[in-house]
Structure 1
Amino acid sequence: MAGAGTDTQLRGRAEEFERLRPLLFSISYRILGSVGEAEDAVQETWLRYETTTTRPDSLKSFLSTVVTRISIDVLRSARVRREEYVGEWLPEPLLSDPYEDPARAAELADSVSMAALLLLERLSPLERAVFVLREVFGFGYAEVAEAVGRTEAACRQLSARARKHMDEGRTRFDADRKEREELAARFFAALREGSVESLQELLAADVQLVGDGGGKAPQLARFIHGSEKVARLIAGAFPPIFSIGTTVDVQEINGQPGALFRDRDGKVAVALTVDVVDGRIAAIRSVINPDKLGHLGPVADAWAMKDEWNRTRRG
Structure 2
Amino acid sequence: MADRDEEFEELRPLLFSIAYRILGSVSEAEDAVQDTWLRYAGSGIRPASAKAFLSAVVTRISVDVLRSARHRREAYLGPWLPEPLLSDPYQDPERAAELADSVSTAALLLLERLSPLERAAFVLREVFGFGFAEVAASLGRSEPACRQLVARARRHMDDGRRRFEADRRECDELAVRFFDAFREGAVDDLLQFLAADVQLVGDAGGKAPQWGRGLIVGARNVAAMLSALAEPFARIGGVVEPHQVNGQPGAIFRDAAGRVVNTWTLDIADGQIVAIRAVVNPDKLRHVGPVADAWAVVRETTEARKTDAGA
TM-score class, shorter-chain normalisation, is over 0.9
1:238 is aligned to: 230
1:225 CA drift (Å): 1.3
Structure 2 residue 41 is matched with structure 1 residue 43: no
1:314 is aligned to: 306
1:270 is aligned to: 262
Structure 2 residue 60 is matched with structure 1 residue 65: no
TM-score, normalising length from structure 1?
Answer: 0.96
2:149 is aligned to: 158
- What is the CA–CA distance in structure 2 between the aligned matches of 1:94 and 1:301, rounded to whole Å? 21
1:186 CA drift (Å): 1.1
1:313 CA drift (Å): 1.0
- What is the CA–CA distance in structure 2 between the aligned matches of 1:268 and 1:217, rounded to whole Å? 12
Counterpart of 1:208 (choices 186, 199, 214) is 199
Counterpart of 1:149 (choices 137, 140, 144) is 140
- What is the CA–CA distance in structure 1 between the aligned matches of 2:153 and 2:305, rounded to whole Å? 47
1:175 CA drift (Å): 1.6
1:242 CA drift (Å): 1.2
Structure 2 residue 130 is matched with structure 1 residue 139: yes
TM-score, normalising length from structure 2?
Answer: 0.97
- What is the CA–CA distance in structure 2 between the aligned matches of 1:261 and 1:38, rounded to whole Å? 24
Unaligned regions of 5+ residues in structure 1, if any?
A: 1-9
- What is the CA–CA distance in structure 2 between the aligned matches of 1:240 and 1:149, rounded to whole Å? 55
Is the alpha carbon distance of 1:149 and 1:28 closer, same or farther for their aligned partners in structure 2, counting shifts above 3 Å?
same
SS of equivalent residue, structure 2 residue 51: helix
Structure 2 residue 246 is matched with structure 1 residue 254: yes
Q: How does 1:1-315 map to 2 (within 5 A)?
A: 10-221=1-212, 222-315=214-307
Runs (4+) off by over 2 Å: none
Between the two proteins, the alignment pairs up a number of residues equal to 306
Unaligned regions of 5+ residues in structure 2, if any?
A: none
Give, as a single letter, the amino acid of the residue that structure 2 aligns with 1:299.
V
1:191 CA drift (Å): 1.1
1:231-279 Cα distance to aligned partner (Å, 9 max, x none) = 1111112221111100121111000000000011110111011011110
RMSD, aligned CA: 0.8
- What is the CA–CA distance in structure 2 between the aligned matches of 1:144 and 1:287, rounded to whole Å? 32
SS of equivalent residue, structure 1 residue 138: coil
